[in-house]
Structure 1
Amino acid sequence: MNIHLQLWEQDFILHPSGAVYWPEQEMLLISDVHLGKISHFRKHGSAVPSKAIAENFRKMDLLLKEFDPEFLVFMGDLFHSALNMEWELFAEWISKLDQQIFLIAGNHDIISPLKYELLGISMYSSLKIENFKLTHHPEDSQHLFNICGHIHPGYKMRGLARQTLRLRCFFLRKQQLILPAFGEFTGNYFMKPEEEDQIFAITGKEVILVN
């Protein structure tokens, strides 16, 4: 189940995949996919199942089918490191899309922008749309609302019997929304919310407000 938010007179849909859809702009926002990370781990002997590679593409396909956006924005760290076999899979996947695609460069995005240009992807350090600034790293944008990624926010939900669930989450501050990592095997940084912050945890197929 999605959660609908209104931020600064704009509507946003928080999806259990970790993506955000912005209806007024017909824009799908996805952060921290880290394509290539699974192949990198497998190359160095980690026992990561190869089917996890296909899972990233399967989830993105489902999102594009559900929302049919005009624009697809990757909010940084689209590819984890240098080129590997997943780049060819990504190039094939991109070739089948008709959306306009943007990449906001993250710290892991070391592949040449020329490679992305050849795929029809426009690369930026940030994007300003209406009163919103889209970045990879969280920023204090003064008079703009910041939507970002990078942190891989997570939340520890504790039960009455002292059991703990470690969940990905959307982390909402007064003037900032931090998206969870979209990719498989990306890890979490567990956030400690302050009084005015809101945590929207992802539990299976739902997004829930937990504080």
Structure 2
Amino acid sequence: MRFETVTVDAGGHPLLLSAQRAAFDPQLKCLLIADAHFGKDAVFRAHGVPVPAGATTDDLARLDALIAAHRPESIVFLGDLLHGRESLGSETMDALSEWRARHASLRVVMVEGNHDRNAGLLPPSLGVETVFEPWIVGPWALCHYPQAIDGAYVVAGHQHPVYVIASRADAVRVPCFRFAARCGVLPAFGAFTGGYVVNQSDDDAAIYAVAQHRVIAVRDRR
């Protein structure tokens, strides 16, 4: 299955937006992932909520596809790599360890998010570097929380932006990217996540919705 990419100008620098809900810097060869929330299904089941297993495995398969498509030299998770303390259990950690072994040569960095602090430390065997926001890489200030940073363009997550596409008879919420003058927010990568509707947001952000394996510009920057 082919997923579309669209190149946008983010603070004067090119960034490829993927319908796989990720962004890629072609100059730094860096793949940016926000809010994977790996192990969220395990957290729910640990608290007695009978959700199906397999969300983490499915998300890692999508990540494999992104790596195959873009051949990055590094991956940066923009916070909330894990969902909670139960994500450190064997179910999620075994899946992550197998994924990491498949991509042992990749540099993997995590900008710490609020869920990561609650989850606890990742096993050193995963080979994931933990850094704190803002982490400056090239023209970017890579953060978990959207904010303004002098001298750099912020790329962040945390908000899980979604856009509502409506007709007279029905409506659907789809993940979206939001790019304002000084900060871009990526959609949540994890499929088992909620979202914050941004249709009525009163700012200058351009919005790119992800629908049917395409990236669609639904609002240009005003």
Please give the TM-score of this superposition, normalised by the length of structure 2. Answer: 0.88
Question: Residue 32 of structure 1 corresponds to which residue in structure 2?
Answer: 35
Of 213, 216, 220, which residue of structure 2 is paired with 1:205?
213
Of 194, 201, 204, which residue of structure 2 is paired with 1:196?
204
Distance 1:136 1:25 in 2: 20
Question: Residue 131 of structure 2 corresponds to which residue in structure 1?
Answer: 124
3-state SS of 1:14 partner:
strand
Q: 1:195 Cα deviation (Å)?
A: 5.2
Residues 160-204 of structure 1: CA distance to partner in whole angstroms, max 9, x if unpaired?
A: x14211111001111111000000211101113335221101102
Of 58, 64, 70, which residue of structure 1 is paired with 2:73?
70
Which has the higher mean CA deviation after the structures are superposed, 147-156 or 81-90?
Answer: 81-90
Residues 29-50 of structure 1: CA distance to partner in whole angstroms, max 9, x if unpaired?
A: 0010101111111233333222
Question: Residue 149 of structure 2 corresponds to which residue in structure 1?
Answer: 141
Q: 1:53 Cα deviation (Å)?
A: 2.8
Taking a change above 3 Å as real, the CA distance of residues 51 and 118 of structure 1, as seen in their structure-2 partners, is closer
3-state SS of 1:210 partner:
strand
Distance 2:126 2:150 in 1: 34
- The answer to whether the 8 A contact 1:10-1:24 is kept is no
Residues 33-76 of structure 1: CA distance to partner in whole angstroms, max 9, x if unpaired?
A: 10111111123333322232321111000000000100111111
User: Would you say 1:46 and 2:52 are equivalent positions?
Assistant: no
Of 151, 161, 173, which residue of structure 2 is paired with 1:166?
173
- The answer to whether the 8 A contact 1:116-1:122 is kept is no
- The answer to whether the 8 A contact 2:180-2:203 is kept is no
Question: Residue 108 of structure 2 corresponds to which residue in structure 1?
Answer: 101
Distance 1:75 1:200 in 2: 19
3-state SS of 2:115 partner:
coil
Q: 1:8 Cα deviation (Å)?
A: 3.1
- The answer to whether the 8 A contact 1:193-1:199 is kept is no
Counterpart amino acid of 1:210? V
User: Would you say 1:7 and 2:10 are equivalent positions?
Assistant: yes
Counterpart amino acid of 2:156? C
Question: Residue 184 of structure 2 corresponds to which residue in structure 1?
Answer: 177
Which has the higher mean CA deviation after the structures are superposed, 45-54 or 75-84?
Answer: 45-54
Distance 1:45 1:112 in 2: 21
Please give the TM-score of this superposition, normalised by the length of structure 1. Answer: 0.92
- The answer to whether the 8 A contact 2:181-2:204 is kept is yes
| Identical-pair percentage | 29
What is the RMSD computed on CA atoms of the aligned residues?
1.6
Distance 2:116 2:12 in 1: 32
Structure 2: runs of 5+ lacking an equivalent: none
